[in-house]
Each structure stands twice: as C-alpha cells, then as structure tokens.
Amino acid sequence: MAKFKLSHDGWMIVADGEKALFLRNEGDKKFPNLQVFRELEQENPPTREQGTDSPGRMDDSGPGHRSAVQETDWHKLAKKDFASGIAERLYKRAHKGEFDELIIIAPPMVLGELRKEFHQEVSNRIIGEIDKDLTNHPVDQIEELVLE
C-alpha cells in the first residue's frame, strides 16, 4: 500500500458507502497525528430488506412476449447517494479554503463514485488515493498504514 505525507491541517477521508470518517492531521508531515473531526453514517440495509416489489415485466416485440426487468439495487443506489453527499460536503469545505491536501481511502466502487462526483476544486487538492476499506480500523492503525 502506498504511503503519503500529509501536512498539518491536511485532511483524510476514509469511507465505505455507509460510513465516512473525516480526519485532520493535527501533527505535521514528520509526526502525523490524525484526529476524527466528523463522522457520517448512513443506515443501508441489503436490497432484499429495502425492496418490496418483485421484478417488473415489460412487453417485447412480438405477440405474447414479455421480459423480466431487473430489480433496482437500492443498496447500491444508497452507496452512490452517500458518496455524492461526501463529495458535496468536500466541495463546500474546499471552496471555503478549509483544507489544502486530501487523501481519499475507499473501496473501489465507492472511490469510483467519489471521483465522478468531485468538483475540480476538490480534485486539485487530492494528494493520494487508496482503494481499500479501512473504515473499521482504529485511527492509529490507519495512520500507520497510510502515512510515512
């Protein structure tokens, strides 16, 4: 796993689509000290617990032909919405000049959604990305794994 140096007051986001930790380096590049300053959580049960309807059907071309329509993956949609909310929050904070450096840590799907949603003002501040799920790791372990 790549290691990065994060300046004093640099930010790190550790997210998984249901939980996000916003961390700030209270130390410096040589002696980092990550502190959680915001935690977001979204309840996101599996699709089978969210959807109540059976998959739909639609008419095909030809008499009496019908095809099943894939059921909506509510769980995946909720993860996309959560990533969108994180991106919006980061844009507002970046626009206010609250951070200059940002490291993003998220599983590949969530990282991809975040990348799509990031405004240029946020993207310009990203100094590193890691495609792993570290949301359930203690902060000191995240610090050890990610920072030099």
Query: Would you say residue 141 lies in a domain?
Result: yes
Say what the pTM is. Answer: 0.81
> Measured between alpha carbons, how far is 25 from 6 in angstroms, rounded to an integer?
7
The count of domains in the chain is: 1
Q: Tell me, what CATH number does 76's domain have?
A: 3.30.420.60
Residue 75 lies inside a defined structural domain of this protein: yes
Mean pLDDT value across residues 19-35: 96
Helices 108-117 and 74-95: angle between axes, nearest 10 degrees: 50
Query: Is residue 65 one of the residues assigned to a domain?
Result: no
**Tens-place pLDDT, residues 58-96:** 566 666 666 665 666 666 777 788 999 999 999 999 999
**Residue 140 domain flag:** yes
Percent of the chain clearing pLDDT 90 (strictly above): 69
In a domain, 124, yes or no: yes
pLDDT, position 78: 78
Is the pLDDT at 140 greater than 90? The verdict is yes
d(C-alpha 18, C-alpha 106), whole Å: 11
| Residue 104 lies in domain | 11-42+71-146
Residue 118 belongs to some domain of the structure: yes
Amino acid at 60: D
Helix (H) or strand (E) holding 91: helix 74-95
Let me know if residue 51 belongs to a domain. no
